[in-house]
Amino acid sequence: MSKTTTWLGKIAPKLVSLLVVSMLIIGAIFWNSFNNAADEYLLHESELNINRLNILFNTVIEKETEMLCVAVDMITNKKGLTDRFLNDERLSYVDHAQTTFNNLKNDHNITHYSVHNLNETCFVRMHEPDYYGDLITRDTLHQARDTMDEGIGIETCCDSLKLRVVKPLFNGTQHIGYVELGVEIKNILLDTVDLMDEEIMLTLNKNFLDQEEWEQLKNNSGERNNWDDMGSNVIVYSTMSQPENHIDISFSNDDLILSNENTIINLKYSYNNTSYSSGRVPIYNVSGQIMGSLILIDDITEHTESHALEFQQTMLLIVIMLLVILLIISVSIHLWVSRPISEIIDKTRRFGKGDMDVQIDTKMKGEVGELAHAFDNMTSELKEYKEGLEDTIAQRTQELNTKVDELERYKKLTVDRELRMVELKKEIDKLKTARTGEMSQ
């Protein structure tokens, strides 16, 4: 039994080692495949969210643009406003247009209403009446000037982005100036945010902003100056607190530098023990330059935890399956290797004690089967040899007994003869003695 134990002691660690290595390989392959599948799913979800944000934002922009076009048409068709513009009656224009501007602001969130002269200087700003006479160099005005049609686009204004519509103003067929209406992009975002579950940020590239003007506006409004929070961009609007921390983690500076790339996605990053994914949708100006970005931040902690739990459950299932396989292999080794060898050793001991009738009843094939058959052949041959030897010994014993009997009979005859000769000799001596006595008388 010790030999079997030694043999199993040699092979068992190898089998266990093989199973452990197999488990590690399977686990590594599964982990890689599982992570790839999870990343692909997360990428797909992120792309869907980014595309949804892009579609929602562009849809809102289109609706706001249509609304601005209708509103600017209404203003250009008001003869009273046109006459006051022709007569250079700025204060009268402000008084007369105030009601219209208030309605547009309250009903449609139109925050900017300006009228410009043919020389592209500002005639009046209804949202800032005391500031006028400056030269307007915006692309939307140039587009309206060059096409004699509506100039539409998103542009920077001080510390924000605005959607503007500029339309040439005519007095009959005479071109006399331009009417401009604008909506804050962050106000448009409010409608988008209501339709999204994720956090949203709006960033601007500093190349389109004036740092001194930015800092002055922040100081005047009492807001924190966040100009230096990021590299080449600055956060204009966010639905979350401390958004700059997310930007630093989720995007490198290179990601946020103006480029022609459409979308940038960061599949997974962590902040404050929470997992997020992020994506960026570029915002283009009238000239087709990327001037800012809409950044979507999605809390994927639940998804990550679910992914980890699913992986743990799957790995537990794999471990259980491998343990079952190990048990099956162990039982198979016991049934097909260990038990036959133990039987061979037991029968060998019985044979050593003189039991010549032992036979190994096994159907095992292979080396163990050959060993069992060889043992059976050996015991059969030894049994036959023993039986033949016993027959020979019995025959020789019988022959020896016969010779002993013959010798006994011969011995008996010889002894009887000697006894008779002794008696005869005694009789002869007696006769001799008697004869000698008779002669002496």
Instruction: Please state, as a whole number, how many other Cβ atoms lie within 10 Å of the Cβ of residue 42.
Output: 20
SS3 273: coil
pLDDT the model gives residue 173? 92
Buried b (16+ CB within 10 A) or exposed e, 288-323: ebbbbbbbbbbebeebbeebeeebeeebeeeeeebe
CB of 161 closer than 8 Å to CB of 141: no
pLDDT the model gives residue 69? 95
Mean pLDDT (whole number) for 58-76: 93
Q: Is residue 217 classed exposed, middle or buried when 0-12, 13-18 and 19+ CB atoms within 10 A define those classes? A: middle
Cβ neighbours of residue 243 under 8 Å, at least 6 residues apart? 199, 201, 235, 297
What tens digit of pLDDT does each residue of 226-263 get?
888 877 888 888 887 777 666 655 555 444 333 335 56
Domains and CATH numbers, the chain: 59-305 (3.30.450.20), 307-441 (no CATH)
CB of 151 closer than 8 Å to CB of 142: yes
pLDDT band at 284 (very low <50, low <70, confident <90, very high): confident
What tens digit of pLDDT does each residue of 345-376 get?
777 777 777 766 666 665 666 666 777 677 77
Tell whether the model's pLDDT for residue 84 goes beyond 50.
Answer: yes
pLDDT the model gives residue 263? 61
In which residue are the tokens 């060889």 written? 374
pLDDT the model gives residue 124? 96
> Which amino acid is located at 202 in the chain?
L
CB of 118 closer than 8 Å to CB of 110: no
* C-alpha–C-alpha distance, residues 171 and 164, integer Å: 22
Supply 262's token pair. Answer: 């459409």
Cβ neighbours of residue 386 under 8 Å, at least 6 residues apart? 356
User: Which has more pLDDT, 424 or 148?
Assistant: 148
Cβ neighbours of residue 156 under 8 Å, at least 6 residues apart? 162, 204, 208, 209, 285, 291
Mean pLDDT (whole number) for 63-73: 95
What tens digit of pLDDT does each residue of 85-138 get?
999 999 999 999 999 999 999 999 999 999 999 999 999 999 999 999 999 999
pLDDT the model gives residue 19? 67
pLDDT the model gives residue 56? 85
Tell whether the model's pLDDT for residue 276 goes beyond 80.
Answer: no
**HSE-up of residue 371 (Cα within 13 Å, Cβ side):** 13
30-44, 53-67, 99-113, 246-260, range with greatest mean pLDDT:
99-113
Buried b (16+ CB within 10 A) or exposed e, 54-88: bebbeebbeebbebbeebbeebbeeeebbebbeee
pLDDT the model gives residue 44? 72
Q: Which run of H or of E encompasses 389?
A: helix 366-440
User: Which has more pLDDT, 106 or 45?
Assistant: 106
SS3 of 91-156: HHHHHHHHHHHHHHHHHHCCCEEEEEECCCEEEEECCCCCCCCCECCCHHHHHHHHHCCCEEEEEE
What whole-number percentage of the chain has pLDDT above 90?
A: 26
CB of 169 closer than 8 Å to CB of 82: yes
pLDDT band at 166 (very low <50, low <70, confident <90, very high): very high
Q: Average per-residue pLDDT in the chain?
A: 79
- Which of 392, 347, 351 shows the shortest CA–CA distance to 372? 347
Q: Is residue 395 classed exposed, middle or buried when 0-12, 13-18 and 19+ CB atoms within 10 A define those classes? A: exposed
Supply 221's token pair. Answer: 């409004």
Tell whether the model's pLDDT for residue 174 goes beyond 80.
Answer: yes
Rg (CA), the chain: 57
* Cα–Cα distances in angstroms (integers) from residue 149 to residues 2, 77, 156, 362, 440, in the given order: 102, 15, 21, 100, 201
